[in-house]
Every structure is written in C-alpha cells, then in structure tokens.
Copies of this chain bind each other. A is one copy, B any other.
C-alpha cells in the first residue's frame, strides 16, 4: 500500500496548514510507485521533462546546478516529506538536478494524479502551490545567506535551517538530526571551499555551538547558534505548532504514558 509512504507527505503538508479528514484521505489514496535509490544517484536531471513528481520518503537529497566549468552549486537540501520536482507539474523542463546523498526511498506520483487532486480539492491545489512558494522563500533566504553573511554565520544558517525543517516533520528530537553531507558537499551548498568549510566547522565546534560526528549533528545551544547564524525561521512559513520547540512538539505521535 502507498499510504504509509504518503504519511510522510501528510506530515509535511500539516507542518504548513491543517488538513481536513477528507483532504487527508484524498492524499493518502494517491497512487504511487516506490523506488529505492543508492547514495549519489540523480533521480531527475537538468533538461528532463518528467511526467511524475518524486516525494522523498526516506533519506536525504540535494538540488544542484552546474556552473561554468566543473563547479556546482547546491541550491536546496531535501528532507523526507519534500517533493523536489513538484514544480515539474507546471514547468515542463527541469532546470536543476536532484541527487540522493544517502540510500533513499522515493514515492513517484504521476502528474495526472496530482492534477486530478487539484481539480477535486481546490484547497489542496492552493496548498501545493503554497509549498512551491515556500521553496521560493527558502531560495530567497539562500541568496541573502550566500550574498551577505560571512562564512561562519552562513554555515550556521544552513545548519539551523535543516534542523528546523526536520523538526517541523518530527525528524529532529532534541536538536539532534541525521546529517549526511560531507564537508565538500556542504562547500557546494555554501559557496565555500571544502578546506574552508572544515575550518569553519572546527570553529563552530570549539565555540560549543555544534556537535558533528559521523553523520549525526547535535545543537547543544540552539539560541546561541541561531544568534550567530542570524536565523529567523519566519521564511519557512511554518504553522505555529510546527515551529514550536517545546514539549508539544510531538504532535501527531503523542507519546502515551508507557510505564
């Protein structure tokens, strides 16, 4: 059944706006085809004209564009619940490439099915539209981040963003996340050389603002990191409860007393 994979999508949508039971049902009954990816696999490429959109169910992926000779810029980090090429529903030709960074699972949804969903549920149509607008807001923030902030704030900023976005879909417990990017990949996302990324990360570690080891990232002092990063989550346009960090953050899976 596809429902379990689409749960992820519901989770993401609910981090943006409430869903009616009817809408929820409509989404969960979308036909999907599930695909497993290895690490470092392109699943849509610049120039492609997809007839379906991919939902990232599990794993981690990036969008990137090649620039000039041999350089690339990563323009977005995808976490479970994101639909990297939702835009292909209305923009036929892809202008970037999406790549898994770790073994990941995708659920493909045909454009026809999405269009039908839009026709049947105007509010969902607007919600999908809104999702793409939030992506645009994130790009804007990245422009500002890359253009104006010094390396250390810039780096801190994307770390804050990933943690906040994972938190919104309940994948960050206690400011701890899986973070599988290599320093070279981070460099491609930040517009910094790998060597400099390394030095910046050491600096952040020495200041006790991050703990990064293996593929795990922890933020011991969230307010301090946000301050250094000049991070204000407003641009993520999260629903109030998805943005909150208190105990209520376990919405959807209210832990029953299990003693």
Contact = CB atoms under 8 A, between A and B. Distances in A.
A148 B67 contact: yes
Contact of A148 (B68, B119, B135): B68
B147 A146 contact: yes
Contact of A143 (B126, B137, B139): B139
B132 A73 contact: no
Given A67-B230, A133-B91, A190 B147 contact: yes
B149 A146 contact: no
Interface residues of A, number: 45
Interface string A69-88: 00111011000000000010
A141 interface: yes
A35 interface: no
Interface in A177-231: 190-191, 230
Contact of A91 (B119, B143, B237): B237
Contacts of A235: 95
B148 A191 contact: yes
A95 B141 CA distance: 9
Contacts of A63: 140
25 contacts: A65-B140, A65-B144, A67-B144, A67-B149, A68-B149, A68-B230, A73-B144, A75-B140, A87-B133, A87-B136, A87-B137, A90-B126, A90-B130, A91-B130, A91-B137, A91-B237, A93-B237, A95-B137, A95-B234, A119-B122, A129-B132, A139-B142, A139-B143, A143-B143, A147-B190
